[in-house]
Structure 1
């Protein structure tokens, strides 16, 4: 996804995490909801602002790397800021939100450690 800001997705073992999330939703009742979330992401990529019920900053206090959550009724997509845009790290369902945020922060930390050591 590209606009004024670029959106990239984290790859784990060569597989994009947004693509993997989308694949996990195929054939489910959440396909349409996921498509709406992609629209939200495109809007933000073009510097549009959304209400906090759709896109919010979830960065913990004193963390220098901003964290974001795209929200729909049942789905969540987690991202962090990188120079020039946002990196999509993880997608999940609302009922797994606490577990997903913990995993998102762990993946973010691992990602940041790999770019610092390069």
Structure 2
């Protein structure tokens, strides 16, 4: 086997074998733009007096923090636009603690 490599607008795979008279290869066409999305960061939640603190590693720039109060379909996610504070290599977002018997769910979206 051999690696896939980019050749113009194609990914190519080549396989040469001593027992074969020709080299076997194929091409995969791509649309011209390759988008690599990073792995999903870990979102952490900690409690401070009357606040919740959400944080994730600083290496994950470009993610949007979102929240909802209900996960039933159709789920509507609301962006939490900050301000985000940078602390010890993490983005940090502080939010007032909810009232009794209320729920909030959070996610990071690319």
TM-score > 0.5 by shorter chain? no
Greater length-normalized contact order (CA 8 Å, ≥ 6 residues apart): 1
Which band: TM-score by shorter chain?
under 0.3
| TM-score normalized with structure 2 length | 0.26
Q: Greater strand percent: which structure?
A: 2
| TM-score normalized with structure 1 length | 0.25
Larger gyration radius, structure 1 or structure 2: 2
Q: Greater helix percent: which structure?
A: 1
